[in-house]
Amino acid sequence: MTPELVVFFLLAIVAVGAALGMLVSRNAVHSALFLVLTMAVLSVFFLVLAAPFIAMVQVVVYAGAIMVLFLFVIMLLGAEGLRRQRTVLPWQPWLAGVLGVLFVAALGYIVFFQGGQFMSQGIIPPGAGAIAADFGGPQALGLQLFQNYLLPFELTSFLLLVGMVGAVVLTREPSGRQVGSTAPKGTLPERRVERVP
């Protein structure tokens, strides 16, 4: 049991525990914070796997921007304390749980019994245990992005532009209402006391 394996299993337990906490938490803010913990643990895994740039991008973009956006919307909609109103299809969560466990079992079988050479010690290139010191650094990754993957790079920038325009259009006030008007406010009503599982 090398130290690397011990660290891996400790971090894996934290990651899976945080994911479970995200699933079972009644409070949406708690779920978001558990997901932030999962992303932080995954960032540590990326550091171990010689991907320092991706690890920092994970912390800054995923945990620092996307999850903050989630928290903004949770606070905006007042979703942290919603209670269940009525249950449609009461048997559906149970069936989904059973099928989810079956899915986990199928994935576990494929990974642990059909893993083959990936589960044994070592990596694919024989005798290549060490790795270049700047593997996964921003310089090397940037060279790849701007030389071999330039077209997808430009397409994703276009996708971000379209997403930004779409988000602004979707959250615009209904036409005919001016900002700061004295008309009765109907866009975001006061919070209702109902919990949604």
Partner 1 sequence: MVPTGYYVGLSAVLFALGVIGVLVRRNAIIVFMSIELMLNSANLAFVAFARSFQQYTGQVFVFFIMTVAAAEVAVGLALMVAIFRTKHSINIDEMNQLNG
Distance of CA 93 to the CA centre of its chain: 22
Site string for partner 1, 60-99 (x = CB under 8 A): -xx--xx--xx--xx-xx-x--x-xxxxxx--xx--xx-x
Q: How far is the CB of 116 from partner 1 (least distance, A)?
A: 8
CA angle 102, 106, 110 (to 5 degrees): 170
Contact between 79 and 28 under an 8 Å Cβ cutoff? The reply is yes
Kindly identify the residues of this chain, within the stretch 160-189, that bind partner 1 according to CB under 8 A: 160, 162-164, 166-168, 170-171, 187-189
Does residue 147 touch partner 1 according to CB under 8 A? Answer: no
Kindly identify the residues of this chain, within the stretch 19-38, that bind partner 1 according to CB under 8 A: 19-20, 22-23, 28, 31-32, 35, 38
Q: How far is the CB of 51 from partner 1 (least distance, A)?
A: 5
Q: How far is the CB of 182 from partner 1 (least distance, A)?
A: 19
Pairwise CA distance, residues 48 & 180, whole Å: 52
168 vs 180 by CB, closer to partner 1? 168
Half-sphere exposure of 165 (CA within 13 A, CB side): 5
Closest C-alpha among 112, 1, 123, 149 to residue 50: 123
Residues in CB range of 7: below 8 A, 6 or more apart: 48
Q: Which of 44, 57, 59, 81 binds partner 1 (CB under 8 A)?
A: 57
Kindly identify the residues of this chain, within the stretch 120-139, that bind partner 1 according to CB under 8 A: 120-125, 128-129, 131-132, 135-136
Q: How far is the CB of 175 from partner 1 (least distance, A)?
A: 13
Pairwise CA distance, residues 28 & 9, whole Å: 28
